[in-house]
Amino acid sequence: MDLQALKNKYDIIGNDPALNNALETAVKFAPTGLSVLIQGESGSGKESFARIIHQFSPRKQAAFFAVNCGALPKELVNSELFGHVKGSFTGAGETRKGYFEEASGGTLFLDEIAELPQESQALLLRVLQSGEYRKVGSNKIEHTDVRVVAATNVHLYEAVRRGKFREDLYFRLSAAQIHIPPLRDRKSDIYLLFRKFTSDFSEVNGMCKISLRPDAIRLLEQYRWPGNIRQLQGFTQALTAQLSQKVTPTLQRIELGADELLPYMPREEGDPTPVIYDASAASESRQTLNQDQLQAIFKAIFDLKAEIDALKARVDRTDLAALPQPPSDTDAQEAEWQIQEESQDLSLRHTEEDLIRRALERHEGNRKKAAEELGMSERTLYRKLPPEYKKK
């Protein structure tokens, strides 16, 4: 199938080369019987790729089931996946089929697979290897013929290194991988998606479409969109609802510049909704530092500390006897200087730890992503981790 026709069929917007490569890879994997691992951030459209794999496979006439592993109660995961027999646990009033039985002959999409408990991971590995499983509370071996497509929004091998995910299951799944690029790496696609979302929302509600001037497009593209397509869609719909008007014979479209768009842009990463502009609040905000400004200050301090550390290292390698010596003062003054230097070092260290702590919280403990944000190697981040993170 032509790539653009494929995008039209599955409502996929964008021309980014990495996105096109992911789609082409999905189509190539589809006719095979391989289990596929789809990796991408939350909101990047992983389920659409799973459906493409199903529709282009010999199983397209059979059932497609999508299961969010992260939403399954921990104590019922095995029952949901493999079924249970009557009386196997409190509340099991009758024998029940699991997803592997229901989806036999078709495709089972396991989203957020990293959230599966270790016990369930072992059972899943057995199904992938032999097609065999047992219902909860039963000794009878059942067989299924299911194509598994798994997805995760975390670095799965990092989960393996932390002991959260089975290595053998990882290698079983990761042989066939698809990587969906985040929206921040598809900047040329952001306005295309914006236009699609405002057009669809406006048509349903009889409102004018929102278009952006070049400076507003640049503003839209500069934001990181941590929630990816899902966040951009919610933002665009809410923006259209607030700024648009009912369509009239003389008014079909409303155009916004950067100054008009800025007050509605998300204030913090992860906040997907536009913020209504409040002139009085804006005036007050000029008197105090906001989170972005504080973050910029912390980053500057962090970079300065790194430069100081590098300079100290160079000094340590220098023959200090050859350097001019500072004037000698009293022992009391020297002690006072030493105390001040130690106090400054401690303050910088606390600031540095706080910056690392904030980055780790934003990335849910993912050290690699936190290190990338802070502009350091993962090894350096590990060496500078706050005490509470070194215990994890």
Residue type, 205: N
DSSP structure string for 98-139: -HHHHTTTSEEEEETGGGS-HHHHHHHHHHHHHSEE--BT--
Tell me the C-alpha distance between 137 and 79, whole Å.
9
User: Of 285, 302, 325, at which residue does a domain stop?
Assistant: 285
Residues 113 and 34 in one domain: yes
Mean pLDDT by 10 residues, the chain (392 residues): 88 94 96 94 94 96 95 90 85 86 96 94 95 92 96 92 93 93 95 96 94 96 94 96 89 92 80 45 42 56 63 56 48 51 55 77 81 77 75 59
Domain assignment present for residue 325? The answer is no
User: Of 181, 211, 241, at which residue does a domain stop?
Assistant: 181
Look at the block and give the residue holding tokens 């020297």: 334
- As given in the structure block, the two tokens for residue 17 are 């080369």
Residues 6+ apart with CB under 8 A from 74: 117
SS3 for 351?
helix
The domain total for the chain is: 3
Residues 151 and 21 in one domain: yes
Q: How far is CA 90 from the centre of its chain?
A: 37
Residues 238 and 108 in one domain: no
Tell me the C-alpha distance between 30 and 24, whole Å.
10
pLDDT of residue 95: 86
pLDDT of residue 287: 41
- In the DSSP assignment, the letter for residue 277 is P
pLDDT of residue 276: 45
Domain assignment present for residue 321? The answer is no
Residue type, 143: H
Query: Domain holding 91: CATH number?
Result: 3.40.50.300
Residues 131 and 277 in one domain: no
Residues 34 and 177 in one domain: yes
Tell me the C-alpha distance between 235 and 344, whole Å.
43
Contact call for residues 168 and 125 (beta carbons, < 8 A): yes
Residues 44 and 28 in one domain: yes
Residues 144 and 264 in one domain: no
253-256 vs 107-111, strand pairing mode:
unpaired
Domain assignment present for residue 315? The answer is no
DSSP structure string for 149-172: EEEESS-HHHHHHTTSS-HHHHHH
SS3 for 232?
helix
Domain assignment present for residue 244? The answer is yes
User: Of 161, 181, 201, at which residue does a domain stop?
Assistant: 181
Tell me the C-alpha distance between 77 and 201, whole Å.
37
Largest Cα separation within the chain, whole Å, is 89
Query: Taking the model in full, what pTM does it have?
Result: 0.66
SS3 for 296?
helix
Domain assignment present for residue 281? The answer is yes
Burial profile 233-261: b = 16 or more Cβ within 10 angstroms, e = fewer: bbbbbbbbeebbeebeeeeeebebebeeb
Tell me the C-alpha distance between 293 and 212, whole Å.
27
Domain assignment present for residue 59? The answer is yes
Residues 6+ apart with CB under 8 A from 294: none
Contact call for residues 356 and 385 (beta carbons, < 8 A): yes
pLDDT of residue 1: 64
Residues 386 and 302 in one domain: yes
Residues 176 and 220 in one domain: no
Domain that includes residue 73, residue range: 3-181
Domain assignment present for residue 98? The answer is yes
Q: How far is CA 274 from the centre of its chain?
A: 20
Tell me the C-alpha distance between 301 and 297, whole Å.
6
Residues 83 and 232 in one domain: no
Residues 279 and 295 in one domain: no
As a whole number of Å, the CA-based R_g of the chain is 27
Domain assignment present for residue 120? The answer is yes
Residues 113 and 262 in one domain: no
Nearest Cα to Cα of residue 73 among 116, 113, 32, 104: 116
Query: Domain holding 265: CATH number?
Result: 1.10.8.60
pLDDT of residue 323: 46
Tell me the C-alpha distance between 97 and 80, whole Å.
8
